[in-house]
Structure 1
Amino acid sequence: MKKKGTIKTIVLIFVIVTASITILVGCESANKEIATIYLHLEKAANKESSLSKYQNELNNLQKEENKLYTSILNLKVTSKKIDPILDKARESLQKRQKLIQKENTIIENSYNEAKKIKPIMKKIDDQTLRNKTKKVANSINKRYEIYKKIYNLSNENIKADQKLYNYLQQKNIHITNYDKQIKKFNKDNKQLKDLKEQFNLYTKQYNKEKMTLYKAGNLKWSSK
């Protein structure tokens, strides 16, 4: 008997924080608190510069696992050819887990740098500038909160994948239990897709709001 059901692989591409391609130039009219905030936010953005690299590797691994899983579906439950394919899938799973951890480290480092603007924000006398800074800080926090949900769900999915691969290696698979696992997998991936869209939305909002803040603080740039 061949197994039924399909797994829908979600490709997650994060929109990263845009780092300024220019450098801050001293100017008497520039707000000194905003200038300090600029330095922290751009440093945080630079910490995310390698994020796209890990995401591409992650997506390639997920595509590879999907191909391996498709190969498994085309085999009979009792086929001995399943075992080496499952071994490759587990190997890919371990690589995926390591990449997720690296990705998490990048986001954590970036967030730890960006949140340094909070005490500086309290020193801003101009109410308009302070409100604009609050908007930036809120976008930073919301973006981080969404990412942590993505991170936690991704780790749960890895555990579920491991359980699924172990289940597929059994020779007495019950099709009902199998279908339940596939449905849960696809449901979690749909949730990941929705979270990714929220993350990208907050990132775009953050990029826009921080540039608005820089301009309001009379910061000036010149090309590197």
Structure 2
Amino acid sequence: MYFKKYPFILIVFMLTVGLIGCSDKPNDPTEKMYTILENVVSKEKTFENQQDPLVALEKKEKNLYNQILKLGMKEYGQIVKLADEALASAEKRKELFETETASLKESENEFRKVADLKEDFANPELGQLANELYQIMENRYRAHDELYRQYTKAINHDKELYGMFKNKDIPLEDLKNQVKKVNDAHQKVYTENEKFNKYTEQYNDKKLLFYKKAGLDPAK
């Protein structure tokens, strides 16, 4: 049996950058847009902070799984200990991912302010870019919704497998079937993660283009 683990590494927003050439008119749509976009970055700081711990826990569980496979039933006590450690790790991953998702929801609530602003630009090119940014971000949030569903399922399958290791009488066929479920679940997570990353990259590029076209040059 081989338990495939796909590193859960997400591409996150560009860090907030200082800008020069920003309008001093508080009601200017460009100024409002800038404020919203940078607030979104701030809202996702918690999201960003979950990435390294999530990856570390996934690597830990893969190591625990490999250790379990090397043990025979004569070392059942050690198998139970490792399985319990893996279960605790999976539960911690679930908590971190819930925290990450909550951060994305805060980001989404902030970004929705763009909906009332994107038609206010006198410059049609900026208006078009604002519309494109909005659509890309909508796609990104929906991609994370699906990622959340698939990742939650994957964690549940992981925990089921770890629990099965603690059953001395579990049929080998049952273990094989569960490993297949785990592999399939993680493949779906990988696929959805790639979609999320793609939209994040598109957003970062489009945001930078908007700033340049608006005369908001990133400070060096």
Same fold (TM over 0.5): yes
Q: CA deviation at 1:47?
A: 2.1
In the alignment, the residues of structure 1 paired with residue 47 and residue 19 of structure 2 have an alpha-carbon distance, to the nearest angstrom, of 22
1:49 match: 45
In the alignment, the residues of structure 1 paired with residue 203 and residue 215 of structure 2 have an alpha-carbon distance, to the nearest angstrom, of 19
Conserved 8 A contact 1:29-1:218: no
In the alignment, the residues of structure 2 paired with residue 174 and residue 157 of structure 1 have an alpha-carbon distance, to the nearest angstrom, of 22
Conserved 8 A contact 1:44-1:114: yes
2:8 match: 12
Conserved 8 A contact 1:31-1:217: no
Q: Secondary structure at the match of 1:121?
A: coil
Conserved 8 A contact 1:72-1:82: yes
2:79 match: 82
Q: CA deviation at 1:122?
A: 2.5
AA paired with 1:21? Answer: V
1:21 match: 17
**1:102 aligns to 2:116 (yes or no):** no
1:115 match: 112
2:89 match: 92
In the alignment, the residues of structure 2 paired with residue 60 and residue 99 of structure 1 have an alpha-carbon distance, to the nearest angstrom, of 12
Query: Aligned pair count?
Result: 219
Selected match of 2:62 from 48, 59, 66: 66
- 1:31-86 CA deviation, whole Å, 9 max, x = no partner? 92122111101110122234333111011111111111111111224623211111
2:28 match: 32
Conserved 8 A contact 1:10-1:190: yes
**1:193 aligns to 2:180 (yes or no):** no
Q: CA deviation at 1:90?
A: 1.4
Deviates further, 140-149 or 116-125: 116-125
1:133 match: 130
AA paired with 1:131? Answer: Q
Q: Would you identify which runs of 4 or more consecutive aligned residues in structure 1 move more than 3 Å?
A: 23-31, 218-223
Q: Secondary structure at the match of 2:45?
A: coil
In the alignment, the residues of structure 2 paired with residue 220 and residue 185 of structure 1 have an alpha-carbon distance, to the nearest angstrom, of 46
Q: CA deviation at 1:222?
A: 4.8
Deviates further, 209-218 or 17-26: 17-26
Conserved 8 A contact 2:150-2:189: yes
For structure 2, the residue ranges without an aligned partner over 5 or more in a row are none
1:159 match: 156
Higher helix share: 2
Q: CA deviation at 1:160?
A: 1.3
Conserved 8 A contact 1:35-1:217: no
TM-score if structure 2 supplies the norm length? 0.90
Selected match of 1:204 from 190, 201, 207: 201
